[in-house]
Amino acid sequence: MIPFLAVGAALAWSGSVEWKGSVILDTLARVARGDTLKIQYGSSIRGTTPASGILVQGTLMMAGDVSDRISMEGGSGIRVKSGGTAYLSGVDLSGTSAGVRVVGGRATLWNCRVTAEPGHSALDLEDGNLAVVRSVLVGSSPVLVGKKGNLELDDVELRSDTSWQLSPQVLTRFQDVDVFGRFHIGQNPPLLRTHVAPKADPADG
C-alpha cells in the first residue's frame, strides 16, 4: 500500500477526515474544535520529525481491535488540549517523545500499549481527564505523570522502575493495577504519590 504523506508547516482540515493504511507525518496534524479525525484499524502512523504528531482540540478516534491494531511510532505523540477528546482502542504507541499528553482535554485508552522513550513518560496528565483500561504502560522512568485532573486506571499493567509520579491535585481511582506482576492494587489508589517498582525480572520483557 502506498503511504499517505503529510507534509508542511502544519496539517489541518475542516470537518471529518478518515485515515486508513500507512501514514507518514513530518508535521503536526491539528484536529480543530468541531472537527474529527478517525484512524481505522490496521493503520500505521510514523512520525519522521520531533514536531510530528497529533494535536487534538476536536475529536480523535483511533479504532483498532485485537487482530488489526493501529501502530503509531516516532514524533511527539498525541496531545489533547482543552475542549479535545481522544478515544484510543487497540493502539500500540512507541518511540515518541511525549506519548499521550492530556492538557485540559479528555482521553480514554482501551486495550492499548504505550512504550515510553528513555527519560520520558508514557502518559502525562497535566490537567483534564484520563482513563486507561486493559492496557500496558512500559518505560524506564515514571511511565505515568499527573499534575492535575482526574485519573482512572482499570486492569492496567505498569512496567517501569518508577511506576507513577502524581501530584496531590490528581484525583485517582485504581482498580486491578499490576506492577511487573509483583505488586498488585486491587482497589483504590495507594497513598504514595511516587511509586518505585520492585526490580523486574528480565524474563518479563
Confidence band for 91, pLDDT divided at 50, 70 and 90: very high
Predicted confidence at residue 38, as pLDDT, reads: 95
Does residue 125 have a pLDDT over 60? yes
CA distance 99 to 77: 5
CA distance 63 to 177: 24
Predicted confidence at residue 31, as pLDDT, reads: 94
Confidence band for 2, pLDDT divided at 50, 70 and 90: very low
Confidence band for 12, pLDDT divided at 50, 70 and 90: low
Measuring CA to CA, which residue among 69, 91, 71 is closest to residue 136? 91
In the predicted model, what is the mean pLDDT of residues 67-85?
96
CA distance 14 to 1: 26
Residue range 143-201, pLDDT digits in tens: 999 999 999 999 999 988 778 889 989 999 988 888 876 677 776 655 555 555 444 45
Residue range 19-71, pLDDT digits in tens: 999 999 988 999 999 999 999 999 999 999 998 999 999 999 999 988 899 99
